[in-house]
Amino acid sequence: LLKEAFAMSEDTRQEDKGLTRRGFLKTSGGAALAGVAAGAMLTGSRNAFGAPIPKKWDQEVDVVILGYGTTGLPAAIEAHDAGASVLILEKLDWLGGSLLRCGGGMAGANTIVQKALGIVDDTPDKLYNYVMACGEGFVDPELVRVYADSAGKAIDWMIEALGGQPVSQWSIAEKPLSLGPGVNFGATPVFYEKYGVKPIMECHWFTPVAPKRDKTALAGGTALFKILDDATKARRIPVMLKTSLQELVATPEKEVLGVKAINGEKTMHIRAKKAVIIGTGGFIWNEQMMKKYLPSHAVGGGKGVVVVAIHQDNDHGEGILAGQAIGADLATMGHRPPDTSTVGSGGLKINTKAEVLDVYGKPIPRLYAGGRATGGLMSNQYPSCGTAVSTAVCFGRIAGRNAAKL
Ligand SMILES: Cc1cc2nc3c(=O)[nH]c(=O)nc-3n(C[C@H](O)[C@H](O)[C@H](O)COP(=O)(O)OP(=O)(O)OC[C@H]3O[C@@H](n4cnc5c(N)ncnc54)[C@H](O)[C@@H]3O)c2cc1C
């Protein structure tokens, strides 16, 4: 695993060397220079940030969704059900992102599962208070409020509307999974003592097992993935595999028009008539970003490498960087629990509509995001196993619905 992790980090380094233009964009002087240089070579009208506007688009749909994962799938389903035409671009040649490999815990309050199990005293308010406590003053209360109110509904939606496994096959974790420092799936006992808060017991499981990539084994994350994957396929929502977001295409006023993506050797421009939704996950595999935001956990630089090895190989932060290149702000960047790599390292700043905000706090028109590509919902204490998946599903749904309304 370690060998694989280092090999991947070397790949990332090589890729990053090729991305000198992106490096350029990190400074305002660089952005201007890169704009002039690229503008001279490319045909379309030049945009100050992101990719140039092409003269001709390769494809047009209402909503372009980046990432066939925990955020992208609910976004696609909701946007489709609201009447929009949708296209999902997935960087890898397999589907599912972290969802497929995750343990399958999903947090939410006041669900039909809880009711069936006789748990009647759980409320979104309790979830709100707990997630706010875990945020230790760094999280956005409005985002947490929306999350707490919609998390239980998201579980009900997956079971009732999308035909997920029957209620009787779900269970609730009796306590948050917390194995202490080193392998931390939830806030630690030290945290509870410090703040005097009670842990939530809202993590819903469908036969939890060790994470697997095998989606034929219907358990844990594979079961959650199957619900969303089946629903996406039933709607015939198209997906382009091995197609990676490179840059966003936006007007000089930063209205997002579409994306520039790469499929093998082929660069393509896809117009999003309504919106682009970023669901590309976090940045644990991007060594430069790790060094910048989480230096003590940078690949090869500490215990983070072990966690990287068992976690994602798809999180290169491309969605975050693409948003930043057109002026998006970041939230809770570098905040995260000491070891888990996939749950709260920060990312694009969003509002309660899942709109990506610029550095002045204004929504960037037609740009939405959710999941680990965003920040603001979790800080140093990961609340509990289950909150990572459910925050992604909730804001994916919100993004999909709002994008379709445009
Ligand atoms: C082993 C493991 C166990 C976990 N267990 C749990 C658990 O039980 N409960 C819980 O709540 N959380 C758990 N988590 C965390 C949780 O799974 C993640 O936080 C969550 O799934 C992330 O959702 P996401 O939509 O942000 O990213 P993902 O679901 O990973 O989706 C991102 C998708 O975008 C694609 N992509 C990336 N870059 C690009 C690009 N440039 N262009 C196009 N596509 C791109 C990726 O390939 C991927 O398919 C676990 C994670 C792991 C790895």
pLDDT-wise least confident of 4-13, 40-49, 115-124, 210-219: 4-13
- Tell me which of 99 and 250 has the higher pLDDT: 250
pTM: 0.86
Q: Which of 185, 259, 313, 342 to mutate to test the pocket of ligand 1 (most atoms within 8 A of CB)?
A: 342
Out of 180-189, 293-302, 331-340, 347-356, the most confident range is: 347-356
d(C-alpha 25, C-alpha 388), whole Å: 30
Look at residue 309 and tell me whether its pLDDT is greater than 70: no
- Eight-state DSSP code of residue 174: S
Ligand 1 lined by 332 (C-beta under 6 Å):
no
For residue 386, what pLDDT is reported?
86
Residue ranges of alpha helices (H) inside 102-165 are: 112-116, 124-135, 141-156
Atom nearest to 92 CA in ligand 1: 47
Cα-to-centroid distance, 225 and ligand 1 (Å): 11
d(C-alpha 356, C-alpha 4), whole Å: 34
User: How many other β-carbons are positioned within 10 Å of the β-carbon of residue 234?
Assistant: 11
Residue ranges of alpha helices (H) inside 235-334 are: 287-293, 304-310, 318-325
- Tell me which of 213 and 97 has the higher pLDDT: 97
d(C-alpha 375, C-alpha 65), whole Å: 19
Cα-to-centroid distance, 311 and ligand 1 (Å): 9
Nearest by Cα to 364 from 281, 263, 248: 248
d(C-alpha 355, C-alpha 321), whole Å: 16
Look at residue 159 and tell me whether its pLDDT is greater than 80: yes
Range 38-45 average pLDDT: 37
Contact 238, 65 (CB under 8 A): no
Look at residue 307 and tell me whether its pLDDT is greater than 60: no
For residue 271, what pLDDT is reported?
98
- The dihedral of CA 325, 331, 333, 336: what is its sign? negative
d(C-alpha 179, C-alpha 197), whole Å: 18
Look at residue 16 and tell me whether its pLDDT is greater than 50: no
For residue 398, what pLDDT is reported?
98
Strands 330-331 and 239-240: unpaired
Residue carrying structure tokens 């280092």: 6
Q: If pLDDT is split at 50, 70 and 90, which confidence band does 27 have? A: very low
- ∠ CA(135), CA(138), CA(141), 5° rounding? 75
d(C-alpha 360, C-alpha 104), whole Å: 37
pLDDT-wise least confident of 57-61, 233-237, 279-283, 383-387: 383-387
